[in-house]
């Protein structure tokens, strides 16, 4: 990876300023569910929004690229790592409260914490998200969903910040939620959101949560590192069905394998490198395109990959 002096200088500057909140050259494999990925020049854990604002405005002034990391459950980080300032909001945006049926959830909270909070307070409408291993911020950015819904269906408003550190308030409609995307959130940092829930019954909500978790455990290979579904659903079809029909289940490159249990999961089966997973993604796309003339679009986000590598997975050659 080509290192840029201004990123390195900024990393050291941030580390001098917040020695307990900044790690230099920190391997990102510790912060992704794939458990792969090289180091970030700096990984910051701001303690509050003022610190976040400070880090962002310093980086903005010096033109230093910033990346926001949630739980790392939908990203594949290159083995070489990334020459950027990476910010994780787990320490600073973890507020949760509710008034009547409106819940405010900080972006750094885990989806599981949000679902359990709703359950404890007899609030229904997010049980289907049980088992999604990301943060609220990542769920908003991805419009995460499962079974019967997506988080975007419940969003009333979003508190965000732009990359120069200015606060922004948006309504749910303004976010541009679509299938696994939120078009107008791409250039923003989620801080928290208000969600409209329904009144529910704790015991029923608990049962529903357990049922969803059991369904996941029966269908998904949860014992290995993964990013969940690698590919989006192509129109009128399912990526997993196509991959299975093409006979790709169990296919391996290095330590990566197409799950024999759920064909849309590519696993870190045995000490995989990000390059193994990437190559297997390319191979599956090529096979599906040859057999069905369908190009599978990635749901997982690549981080630290070259333009050439990004282009290869975006469209057939
Ligand atoms: C076993 C497994 C099962 C899964 N099941 C599902 C499922 O059923 N449905 C589903 O939709 N997904 C599923 N996923 C994928 C993943 O959990 C979701 O996409 C999740 O919403 C990602 O959240 P995250 O916090 O991990 O985000 P990350 O993976 O860290 O980041 C994803 C994107 O969000 C951005 N981002 C994260 N936080 C913020 C923020 N605060 N502000 C701005 N941008 C931000 C990142 O920059 C990146 O672009 C699954 C993953 C695994 C490993």
Strand 102-106, strand 96-99: pairing = antiparallel
Would residue 171 show up in a list of annotated catalytic residues for this protein?
no
Choose one of 21, 54, 88: the last residue of a domain.
88
Choose one of 194, 218, 242: the last residue of a domain.
218
What Å distances lie between residue 141 and 49, 54, 259, 303, CA to CA? Answer: 19, 22, 26, 15
Question: Reduced to 3 states, what is the DSSP secondary structure of residue 213?
Answer: helix
Are both 275 and 258 inside the same structural domain? yes
Would residue 150 show up in a list of annotated catalytic residues for this protein?
no
Are both 188 and 265 inside the same structural domain? no
Least confident window among 65-69, 124-128, 178-182: 178-182
Beta carbons of 274 and 34 less than 8 angstroms apart: yes
Structure tokens at 200: 């529910």
Distance CA 166, CA 130 (A): 32
Structure tokens at 264: 């849309």
pTM equals: 0.95
Work out the angle between the directed axes of helices 307-314 and 274-292 (0-180°, nearest 10): 30
Mean pLDDT value across residues 210-215: 97
Are both 210 and 279 inside the same structural domain? no
pLDDT in tens, 40-85: 999 999 999 999 999 999 999 999 999 999 999 999 999 999 999 9
Distance CA 313, CA 173 (A): 30
Q: How far is the CA of 16 from the centre of ligand 1 (A)?
A: 31
Are both 158 and 55 inside the same structural domain? no
Entry field: residues in the chain = 317
pLDDT tier at 91 (50, 70, 90 boundaries)?
confident
Model confidence at 34: pLDDT above 60: yes
Beta carbons of 242 and 227 less than 8 angstroms apart: no
Are both 244 and 262 inside the same structural domain? yes
pLDDT in tens, 93-114: 999 999 999 999 999 999 999 9
Q: How far is the CA of 76 from the centre of ligand 1 (A)?
A: 11
Distance CA 7, CA 35 (A): 24
pLDDT at 317: 79
pLDDT tier at 151 (50, 70, 90 boundaries)?
very high
pLDDT at 316: 86
Distance CA 38, CA 80 (A): 5
Mean pLDDT value across residues 223-237: 96
Other Cβ atoms less than 10 A from the Cβ of 247: the count is 12
Q: Which residue range forms the structural domain that includes residue 117?
A: 96-218
What percentage of the chain exceeds 70 in pLDDT? 99
Mean pLDDT value across residues 211-220: 96
**Residues paired with 98 in a beta bridge:** 103
Model confidence at 1: pLDDT above 70: no
pLDDT at 99: 97
Distance CA 201, CA 278 (A): 44
272 secondary structure, DSSP code: -
Instruction: Indicate which CATH number applies to the domain containing 124.
Output: 3.30.465.10
From 229, 259, 273, 275, the catalytic residue: 229
Distance CA 240, CA 246 (A): 10
Name the residue of 82, 132, 170 to mutate for ligand 1: max ligand atoms within 8 A of Cβ. 132
Are both 213 and 262 inside the same structural domain? no
Distance CA 1, CA 258 (A): 28
Question: Reduced to 3 states, what is the DSSP secondary structure of residue 100?
Answer: coil
Distance CA 172, CA 140 (A): 10
pLDDT in tens, 184-208: 999 999 999 999 999 999 999 999 9
Specify the number of domains making up the chain.
3
Are both 64 and 158 inside the same structural domain? no
* Average pLDDT across the chain, whole number: 96
Output the 3-class SS for 79-126.
CCCEEEEEEECCCCCCCEEEECCEEEEECCCEHHHHHHHHHHCCEECC
Mean pLDDT value across residues 274-278: 98
Structure tokens at 143: 């419009």
Are both 80 and 127 inside the same structural domain? no
Choose one of 88, 106, 131: the last residue of a domain.
88
Q: How far is the CA of 139 from the centre of ligand 1 (A)?
A: 5
Q: How far is the CA of 72 from the centre of ligand 1 (A)?
A: 7
Residues with CB under 6 A from ligand 1: 33, 67-75, 89, 107, 132-135, 137-139, 141-142, 144-146, 189-190, 220, 222, 226-228, 301
Are both 233 and 305 inside the same structural domain? yes
Name the phi and psi angles at 278, rounded to 5.
-60, -45
Are both 173 and 107 inside the same structural domain? yes
Work out the angle between the directed axes of helices 5-17 and 49-61 (0-180°, nearest 10): 150
The residue to which tokens 């990984």 are assigned: 43
């Amino acid at each position: 990876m080509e290192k840029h002096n201004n990123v390195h200088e900024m990393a050291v500057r941030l580390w001098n300023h917040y020695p307990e909140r900044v790690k230099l050259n920190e391997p990102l494999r510790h912060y992704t569910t794939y458990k792969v990925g090289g180091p970030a020049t700096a990984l910051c854990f701001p303690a509050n929004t003022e610190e976040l604002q400070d880090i962002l405005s310093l980086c903005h002034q010096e033109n230093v690229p910033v990346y926001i990391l949630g739980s790392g459950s939908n990203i594949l980080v290159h083995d070489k790592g990334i020459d950027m300032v990476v910010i994780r909001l787990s320490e600073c945006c973890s507020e949760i409260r509710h008034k009547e049926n409106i819940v405010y959830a900080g972006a750094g909270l885990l989806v599981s914490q949000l679902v359990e909070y709703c359950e404890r307070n007899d609030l229904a409408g997010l049980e289907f998200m049980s088992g999604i291993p990301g943060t609220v911020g990542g769920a908003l950015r991805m419009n995460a969903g499962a079974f019967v819904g997506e988080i975007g269906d419940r969003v009333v408003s979003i508190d965000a910040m732009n990359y120069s550190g200015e606060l922004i308030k948006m309504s749910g409609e303004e976010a541009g939620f679509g299938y696994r995307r939120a078009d107008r959130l791409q250039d923003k940092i989620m801080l928290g959101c208000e969600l409209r829930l329904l009144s529910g019954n704790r015991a029923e909500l608990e049962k529903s949560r357990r049922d969803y978790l059991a369904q996941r455990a029966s269908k998904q290979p949860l014992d290995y590192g993964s990013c969940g579904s690698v590919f989006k659903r192509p129109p009128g079809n399912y990526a997993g069905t196509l991959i299975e029909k093409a006979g790709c289940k169990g296919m391996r490159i290095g330590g990566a394998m197409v799950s024999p249990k759920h064909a849309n999961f590519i696993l870190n089966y045995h000490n995989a490198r990000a390059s193994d997973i990437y190559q297997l993604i390319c191979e599956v796309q090529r096979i599906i395109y040859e057999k069905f003339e369908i190009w599978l679009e990635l749901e997982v986000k690549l981080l630290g990959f070259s333009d050439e590598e990004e282009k290869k997975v975006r469209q057939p050659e």
